[in-house]
């Protein structure tokens, strides 16, 4: 099945489960080689029996004019087989960068797998999730008591506030980037915010109170 990718800033290596992939247009850019020539090399390796046609996933990517162009998504194994056959103005640099990225992604997959079996981390994640539910439930009740509806952006604002107290940045915080200490601190921030919501304190006032209670610390991450 053909997959369309519309990335403007191309990721080098993609992960699906524990498997890693790279798109041929990305390899062509890394090696500074015309994409059509790289596709020809892939087809020749298939003809020689070195690659299996069934392992090649057809994709479509936009060229510099935004027009869809065909390509392949290669497995890590196929990319490694193909690399020695590629020339290009940046052949050595391209090989080094691609190998480094495969190694980095492998390390990241191992790290994420380890997080799933870490009991302290799992307990911290559960605590963070429970406090999120409690905070949003209390927000709904507090607004309902004032005769106000609670819209999706109200939930987003509360989560964004808590994330700002933790990291100094508004917006989404990825659990995968937080260590147990950060997760526990975020849960504490949410509990405190919940109490302030129930007390009827305004958003602006809660912001000041939370910052005073939780001075900005360096977010450690990757525990």
**What integer pLDDT is reported at residue 174 of this predicted model?**
81
pLDDT for residue 218? 59
Q: How far is CA 221 from CA 68, 107, 115, 132, 173, in A?
A: 39, 15, 12, 20, 11
* Own/partner pairs, 76-84, CB within 8 angstroms, 24+ separation: 76/19, 76/20, 76/21, 76/22, 76/102, 78/42, 78/51, 79/21, 79/22, 79/27, 81/45, 81/50, 81/51, 82/27, 82/38, 82/41, 82/42, 82/45, 82/51
Of the chain, the end-to-end C-alpha distance in Å amounts to 38
What is the model's pLDDT at position 223?
A: 44
Question: How much is the pTM?
Answer: 0.54
Taking only the tens place, the pLDDT of each residue in 46-81 is 999 999 999 999 999 998 898 999 999 999 999 999
What confidence score (pLDDT) does residue 130 get?
Answer: 93
Directed axis angle between helix 180-198 and helix 119-145, to 10°? 20
- What local confidence, expressed as pLDDT, does residue 222 receive? 46
The residue ranges of the chain whose pLDDT is under 70 are 1-10, 218-223
């Amino acid at each position: 099945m053909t997959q369309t990718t519309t990335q403007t800033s191309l990721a080098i290596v993609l992960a699906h489960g524990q498997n890693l992939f790279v798109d041929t247009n990305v390899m062509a850019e890394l090696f500074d080689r015309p994409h059509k020539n790289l596709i020809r090399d892939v087809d020749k390796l298939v003809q020689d029996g070195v690659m299996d046609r069934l392992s090649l996933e057809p994709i479509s990517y936009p060229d510099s004019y935004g027009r869809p162009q065909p390509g392949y998504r290669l497995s890590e194994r196929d990319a490694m087989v193909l690399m020695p056959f590629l020339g290009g103005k940046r052949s050595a640099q391209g090989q080094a960068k691609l190998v480094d990225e495969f190694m980095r992604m492998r390390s990241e997959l191992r790290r994420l797998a380890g997080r799933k079996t870490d009991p302290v981390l799992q307990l911290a994640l559960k605590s963070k999730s429970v406090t999120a539910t409690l905070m949003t439930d209390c927000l709904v009740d507090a607004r309902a008591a004032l005769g106000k509806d609670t819209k999706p952006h109200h939930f987003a604002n509360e989560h964004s506030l808590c994330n700002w107290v933790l990291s100094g940045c508004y917006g989404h915080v990825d659990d995968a980037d937080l260590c147990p200490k950060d997760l526990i601190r975020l849960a504490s921030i949410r509990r405190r915010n919940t109490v302030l919501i129930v007390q009827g304190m305004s958003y602006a006032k809660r912001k000041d109170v939370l910052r005073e209670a939780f001075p900005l610390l360096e977010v450690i991450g990757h525990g």
